[in-house]
Structure 1
C-alpha cells in the first residue's frame, strides 16, 4: 500500500489533509489492464463540523463502494464536491481511461456528469461487495472485497485496441503541455479531429477539448498551491492561453475564484459560508 499524498485535482490539499486520509492501492496484476488503482478515503469528524471537499475530477470512471450503496460515477465535468460528516470510509475503483466501455455496453459519454447505482449495472453482487467494504476498516480487506467483485464482471480478454488508444492519447495530453488544441492532439496521435472526438465519446466520456482544458486547470491549481509568488501571465502563456485574462476566466468559471485569490486562501471556511462559495 502506498500513500502518495492527496494527488492532483484535490483542491486546497493542505486543509484537506487535516480532515481525512487518502490512501492509494495498486490493483492485483490480473485487474491492472482495466483498473488504474483503488483509493480509500477515511475520516473521523465526530465532534467537529462537517467538511466539504472540492475536486477537479480527472477523465476516469469510478466505482465507489459507499453509503448507502455502491455507485458508478461517470466523468464529472464540473467541480465535484463531497460533504463528509461523522466518521466513515469509502473505497473507490478508478478505471483506466477507456476501460469501462465493455462494462457499460454503451458509449461512456452516456455516463458524463451522472451517478448510477452500481446495482442497476451489475446486479445484487455490487451491493454485496459494498457491504463487505463498509463493514471492515482494514484496507487490504476492503480491496479484496472490491477485487473479488471485479473479477466477476470484468472481461477475460484485455481491453480493445481502441480503449488502449484512448488511454494513450490521454497520457499524451497529460505529458505534453505544448499540446493546447484538439487539432494538435489529433495530428500527433495520427487521427482526424472527428475521429478523436468519436473515440473520446465512446471510450473516455468527455471530449478532447474538455480534457485539454482540465489538464490546464490541474496545472494552474497545482501552481497556485505553491503560494502567491506565481507569475500568472507566464503561466497562462505556458498553458497555451491567449493571455492571463483567459486563464483567470477559465479558472474562475470552474473553481469559483480567480487563481490568485485561490492561492491566498488558507483553510477552507466552515460549510455554509455562502460568501466564499
Structure 2
C-alpha cells in the first residue's frame, strides 16, 4: 500500500490528515481530508510534490479542479478549516476538463454550489462526517462521469503502469500496454496533461524523497534504486523541482 503521506515533503507538519478508499476506484484513486485548527497569529506551511494527476477539491470557499503540477507547491494553513479532495483517475478527468494540460500548475474554480453545500453539511455532521463527505463527492463524480468507455479504462491502466515502480521508461510502458510510444504520449496528454516521462519522473522523485526521509541507504544507493543515472542526476532533479539538494532534505527531515 502506498504511504498516504507520499508527496508530502514534511509529514510532521501535517494537520489531522485522513486518506479514505474510493467507492469507485475507476474514478478516483483515493479521497483525502485534512482538517486543521491553527492558533491565532500562526500558520502551518505544507510543501507538496504532488502526484501526476488532477484533484477535485471541495473547501468551505467552493469547489476547484486542481491541475497537474510540474514543481513543488505549498499552502499556508491558518485558522481552522478542512478540505475534501479526490485524487482523480484519468477516466474521471475526461468528464471535467477538455484539456488538462491547460491546468498545469493552476486550479480552476467549478461553479458547483450544490456540491459544496452538501459536502459542507456532511463535514458538519459529527461522527462519521468524513465517510459521508466522501460518499457525497463520490456520488457527484459518478453522476458527472457517466459510463466509462474502453479508452478511459485504457488511460487508467496507463496511469497505474506509469506509477508502478517497475517502469523506468515510456518505451517500456508502451510495450506493456501494446501501444506505440506516440499513442501513449497522446493518451497522457488527453487524460493527465503531462507527458509519460514527466509522470515517471514525478513518481520516482516522490519515492526517493520518501526513502531519504526514512534514512535508508546512502545517496548513491537511493539514486540507483529509483533509476537515476548517479548521485549527481538525483541532485539535479531535486534542485530543479524542489529547490534543494537530497542531502539538505535528508538533514531537514532527520528525526
TM-score by length of 2: 0.88
Contact 2:30 2:86 in 1 (8 A): yes
2:109: which partner in 1?
Answer: 117
2:20: which partner in 1?
Answer: 25
Query: Hey, what's the Cα distance between the residues in 1 that align with 2:3 and 2:185?
Result: 33
Query: Hey, what's the Cα distance between the residues in 1 that align with 2:253 and 2:165?
Result: 31
Shift of the alpha carbon at 1:82?
Answer: 1.3
User: What is the SS of the residue equivalent to 1:265?
Assistant: helix
Residues 49-104 of structure 1: per-residue CA shift (max 9 Å, x gap): 20110111112221111142111111122112111001111111222133211233
User: What is the SS of the residue equivalent to 2:76?
Assistant: strand
Query: Hey, what's the Cα distance between the residues in 2 that align with 1:148 and 1:180?
Result: 36
1:10: which partner in 2?
Answer: 8
2:136: which partner in 1?
Answer: 145
Alignment of 1:72 onto 2:70: no
Query: Hey, what's the Cα distance between the residues in 2 that align with 1:145 and 1:189?
Result: 34
2:240: which partner in 1?
Answer: 253
Query: Hey, what's the Cα distance between the residues in 2 that align with 1:219 and 1:110?
Result: 27
Contact 1:59 1:97 in 2 (8 A): no
Segment of structure 1 superposing worse, 182-191 or 51-60: 182-191
2:43: which partner in 1?
Answer: 50
Aligned length: 251
Query: Hey, what's the Cα distance between the residues in 1 that align with 2:87 and 2:163?
Result: 17
Query: Hey, what's the Cα distance between the residues in 2 that align with 1:5 and 1:48?
Result: 32
1:272: which partner in 2?
Answer: none
Shift of the alpha carbon at 1:142?
Answer: 2.2
Contact 1:65 1:71 in 2 (8 A): yes
1:107: which partner in 2?
Answer: 99
Shift of the alpha carbon at 1:206?
Answer: 1.0
Residues 229-256 of structure 1: per-residue CA shift (max 9 Å, x gap): 6321122223222221111010121112
Q: Compared with structure 1, are the counterparts of its residues 66 and 191 closer, same or farther at alpha carbon in structure 2 (3 Å cutoff)?
A: same
Alignment of 1:225 onto 2:213: yes
TM-score by length of 1: 0.81
Q: Compared with structure 1, are the counterparts of its residues 5 and 184 closer, same or farther at alpha carbon in structure 2 (3 Å cutoff)?
A: closer
Q: Compared with structure 1, are the counterparts of its residues 151 and 220 closer, same or farther at alpha carbon in structure 2 (3 Å cutoff)?
A: closer
2:159: which partner in 1?
Answer: 170
1:275: which partner in 2?
Answer: none
Residues 152-175 of structure 1: per-residue CA shift (max 9 Å, x gap): 4231x1x22222222222222332
Residues 92-119 of structure 1: per-residue CA shift (max 9 Å, x gap): 1222133211233x23323222211111
